[in-house]
């Protein structure tokens, strides 16, 4: 369910039995409701009465996304009268009756229809049809690139800048605030040209940029980022993206399109008299922002003293604007160094500063962007006064609840990854994993995704990085080969979360199982795991060797078919020989053994041998060793462990038939 959270409520619509069947599997995975006409009797579906047109109209404003299994033309006619604006319309996706194609029809970027189409296509094994220009160029859309970080779209010519990207023109990016992670994961030959590094614009620059947006002199000189420099007119930027808390006004007549993203980096510290109205607080914030050319949408939240936690006006403003209200006790605030302390305030509430100290503390910033200003109500009733100060944080507030998707990617081939795991990878803002596995899943990655491949030895760093990003609000997929919960990253991530005092809910966690090495190895040689089996890793990096030896003895004694993971590395060569010696004490030298290396990968290698000859064949870290039990046999190239259907040998009674009263195995 976590995967489709961004699209809730989501409506699926079909008018034929085939269409309903096609969409039905999505109900469970996406948490959507399926609507069909009354005449169809479909389990799990809800019926609509009257015309579909009226029904869609009644759902339209309450749904974030629609998936139709209908002719595209019919869908276009249905939704045409309802469409308003791409910043508000829900995502509209169309699936053909055969389930071959998933079309992103409307609100591809801001409504995330492209993303939804990708995810549904992965669920259905279909091809996503994305006609947006940036998808075709492998780029994140200009109007969605800040979404993972919770940035807000500001004023500007969004269509103009997107069109410049589509035409392959250079686009200058002036990023003064917010995460630059997105910059580091762009494809080769991307159109963005990065201007000055983060800094705060001065007032004269803001005014210049408002009046002469096309004048390159209004900004510090650009570093010659691209070969050829800026002398070549084809390399001159034709559009501009600002990423900043500053509110810029662009001239509507300009033929040089500009847009602005506002990362939420402003913490507004507030102190107020008891009973100050919401209107006064709002006006004060608005005026301070205007005076200092700050965008209100760059506000992260409100910070104040704990005794204001029940201040009605403040609570109302925060609820209305979706701002968090951060409260701090007086003894924290009094420890903050502020420019304008007040003895009066100190006497009243036990700290010489509320607004300034709370802003600085919430922003974790050494200084204020705007020192405190006091606003008084012009009216006698209700009275009130409010003090406002603003500080800017280094890292933006995303306003999103992060998620950790712990994903098993199977042995290697894409078609061995479950559709759910594929969807999770496609959904994630960030994908973290060992570089070899990231290469294997490369076709699943989408434009704009942040992909962090780390060397094999850095599991803890990977887990900590994933948690840090998820706590910040991003959706992070941590990929492991095989199953992520079998010698994979799932356990480590959950352990680290627990150690950090995780409440079990935030960030959200979902584990996506994968085909583990013992299964993929077994499938390549037949059915060696048909009876009770166990897995033992021979790596003693994290487990004392005595413990491993104890388990090897127990498994050998108990006649478990045994899968050995991590059997040998370049430096760790003795363990497999010891394991063999232990098994030889309890099993016949002729016991079949399969060595499966790189199952389902291009360099796959399979050797069927025996316990006795086990060491004659090459074994390395990419190999899984399967040791048969007493009754495992071979047949040509196949390794088979009997389940007992054809009877079994018993020492005392000889050949027996299977018991007829037992449950058949599934
Ligand atoms: N999480 C993984 C296991 C990681 S431990 C899983 O569930 O499969 C790494 C060990 O897994 C390797 O040393 C090897 O023994 C085994 N392994 C992983 N991928 C394999 C593959 N494609 N073929 C054979 N063995 C594999």
Instruction: Tell me the pLDDT tens digit for each residue of 538-568.
Output: 999 999 999 999 999 999 999 999 999 999 9
Tokens standing for residue 321 = 């604007």
Cα–Cα distances (Å) from 532 to 562, 596, 640, in that order, read 9, 20, 13
The rounded Å distance from CA 409 to ligand 1 centre is 11
Peptide bond preceding 9 in cis form (omega within 30 of 0) = yes
407 Cα–ligand 1 center, Å = 15
User: Phi and psi dihedrals of 8, rounded to 5?
Assistant: -85, 145
d(CA 325, CA 362): 10
pLDDT-derived band of residue 361, with 50, 70 and 90 as boundaries?
very high
CB atoms within 10 A of CB 561: 25
Residue 432's DSSP bridge partners are 452, 478
Q: Is residue 137 within 8 Å of 356, Cβ to Cβ?
A: no
Residue among 266, 241, 270 nearest 394 (CA): 266
Question: What are 611's two structure tokens?
Answer: 């316990």
More confident residue, 232 or 449: 449
Within 10 Å of residue 569's Cβ, how many Cβ atoms?
A: 13
Q: Which of 425, 406, 403 is nearest to 414 (CA)?
A: 425
Helix axes 278-291, 312-321, angle to 10 degrees: 60
3-state secondary structure 299-359: EEEEEEEHHHCCCHHHHHHHHHHCCCEEEECHHHHCCCCCCCCCHHHHHHHCCCCCHHHHH
Q: What is the DSSP string of 538-564?
A: ---SSS-HHHHHHHHHHHHHTT-EEEE
pLDDT of residue 252: 84
Residue found under tokens 């699943």:
444
Residue 609: partners with Cβ closer than 8 Å, 6 or more residues away: 592, 593, 594, 595, 616, 617
Residue carrying the six token digits 């709370």: 358
Q: What is the pLDDT of residues 84-107, one digit of tens each?
A: 998 899 999 999 999 999 999 999
pLDDT of amino acid 413? 85
- Asked if residue 539 has its Cβ within 6 Å of ligand 1, the reply is no
Q: Which atom of ligand 1 is nearest to the CA of 625?
A: 15
C-alpha 416 – ligand 1 centre gap (Å): 14
Reply yes or no on whether the pLDDT at 261 is more than 60.
Answer: yes
Residue 480 alpha carbon, nearest atom of ligand 1: 1
What domains are defined for the chain? Answer: 2-131 (3.40.50.11220), 142-262 (no CATH), 266-392 (3.30.420.180), 403-515 (3.40.1010.10), 518-640 (3.30.950.10)
Q: Determine the Cα–Cα distance for residues 146 and 142; give it in Å rounded to an integer.
A: 8
Give per-residue pLDDT as tens, 204-220. 444 444 443 333 333 33
Query: How far does the centroid of ligand 1 lie from the alpha carbon of residue 211, in Å?
Result: 61
Q: Would the pLDDT of 28 be above 50?
A: yes
Residue 280's pLDDT is 95
What share of the chain in percent tops pLDDT 90?
80
Percent of the chain whose pLDDT exceeds 70: 91
Q: What is the DSSP letter of 46?
A: E
328 vs 436 pLDDT, higher one: 328
State both tokens at 508.
């959200």
Confidence of residue 457 (pLDDT cuts 50, 70, 90): confident
Give the CB-side neighbour count of residue 19, counting CA atoms within 13 A: 19
Contact criterion met (CB below 8 Å) for 345 and 354: yes
């Amino acid at each position: 369910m976590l995967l489709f959270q961004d699209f809730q409520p989501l409506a699926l619509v079909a008018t034929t039995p085939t269409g309903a069947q096609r969409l039905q599997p999505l109900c469970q995975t996406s948490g959507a409701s399926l609507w069909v006409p009354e005449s169809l009797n479909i389990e799990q579906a809800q019926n609509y009465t009257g015309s579909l047109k009226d029904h869609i109209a009644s759902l339209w404003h309450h749904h974030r996304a629609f998936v139709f299994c209908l002719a595209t033309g019919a869908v276009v006619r249905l939704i045409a009268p309802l469409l308003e604006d791409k910043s508000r319309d829900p995502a509209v996706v169309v699936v053909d009756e055969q389930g071959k194609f998933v079309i992103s029809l409307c609100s591809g970027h801001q409504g995330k229809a492209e993303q939804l189409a990708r995810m549904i296509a992965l669920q259905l094994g279909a091809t996503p049809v994305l006609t947006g220009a940036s998808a075709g160029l492998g780029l994140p859309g200009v109007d969605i690139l800040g979404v993972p970080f919770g940035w807000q779209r500001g004023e500007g010519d969004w269509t103009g800048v997107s069109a410049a990207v589509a035409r392959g023109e250079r686009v200058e990016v002036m990023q003064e605030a917010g995460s630059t992670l997105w910059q580091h994961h762009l494809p080769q030959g991307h159109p963005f040209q990065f201007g000055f590094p983060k800094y705060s614009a001065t007032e004269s620059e803001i005014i210049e940029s408002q009046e002469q947006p096309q004048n390159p002199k209004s900004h510090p000189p650009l570093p010659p980022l691209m070969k050829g420099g800026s002398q070549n007119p084809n390399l001159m930027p034709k559009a501009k993206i600002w990423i900043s808390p500053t509110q810029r006004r662009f001239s509507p007549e300009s033929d040089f399109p500009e847009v602005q993203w506002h990362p939420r980096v402003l913490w507004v510290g507030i102190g107020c008299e008891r009973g100050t109205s919401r209107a006064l607080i709002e006006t004060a914030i608005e005026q301070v922002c205007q005076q200092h050319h700050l965008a209100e949408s760059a506000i992260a939240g409100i910070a104040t003293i704990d005794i204001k936690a029940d201040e009605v006006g403040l609570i109302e403003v925060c609820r209305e604007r979706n701002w968090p209200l951060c409260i701090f006790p007086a003894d924290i605030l009094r420890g903050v160094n502020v420019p304008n302390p007040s003895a009066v305030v100190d006497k009243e509430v036990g700290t010489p500063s509320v607004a300034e100290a709370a802003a600085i503390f919430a922003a974790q910033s050494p200084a204020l962007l705007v020192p405190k200003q006091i606003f008084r109500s012009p009216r006698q009733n209700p009275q009130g006064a409010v003090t406002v100060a603003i500080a800017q944080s280094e890292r933006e507030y995303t306003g999103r609840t992060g998620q950790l998707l712990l994903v098993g990617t199977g042995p290697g081939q894409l078609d061995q990854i479950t559709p759910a795991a594929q969807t999770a990878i496609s959904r994630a803002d960030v994908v973290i994993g060992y570089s070899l596995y990231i290469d294997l899943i490369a076709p699943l990655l989408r434009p704009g995704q942040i992909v962090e491949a780390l060397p094999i030895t850095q599991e803890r760093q990977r887990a900590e990085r994933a948690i840090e990003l998820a706590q910040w609000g991003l959706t992070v997929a941590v990929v492991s080969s095989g199953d992520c919960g079998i010698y994979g990253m799932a356990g480590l991530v959950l352990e680290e979360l627990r150690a950090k005092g995780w409440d079990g809910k935030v960030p959200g966690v979902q584990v996506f199982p994968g085909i583990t090495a013992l299964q993929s190895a077994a499938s390549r040689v037949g059915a060696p795991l048909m009876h009770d089996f166990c897995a033992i890793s021979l790596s003693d990096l994290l487990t004392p060797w005595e413990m491993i030896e104890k388990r090897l003895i127990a498994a050998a004694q108990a006649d478990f078919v045994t899968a050995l993971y991590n059997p040998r590395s370049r430096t760790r060569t003795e363990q497999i020989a010891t394991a063999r010696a232990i098994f030889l004490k309890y099993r016949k030298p002729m016991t079949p053994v399969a060595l499966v290396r790189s199952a389902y990968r291009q360099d796959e290698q399979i050797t069927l041998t025996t316990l006795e000859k086990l060491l004659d064949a090459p074994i390395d870290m990419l190999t899984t060793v399967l040791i048969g039990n007493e009754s495992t046999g071979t047949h040509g190239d196949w390794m088979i462990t009997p389940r007992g259907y054809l009877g079994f040998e018993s020492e005392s009674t000889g050949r027996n038939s299977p018991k007829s009263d037992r449950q058949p195995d599934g």
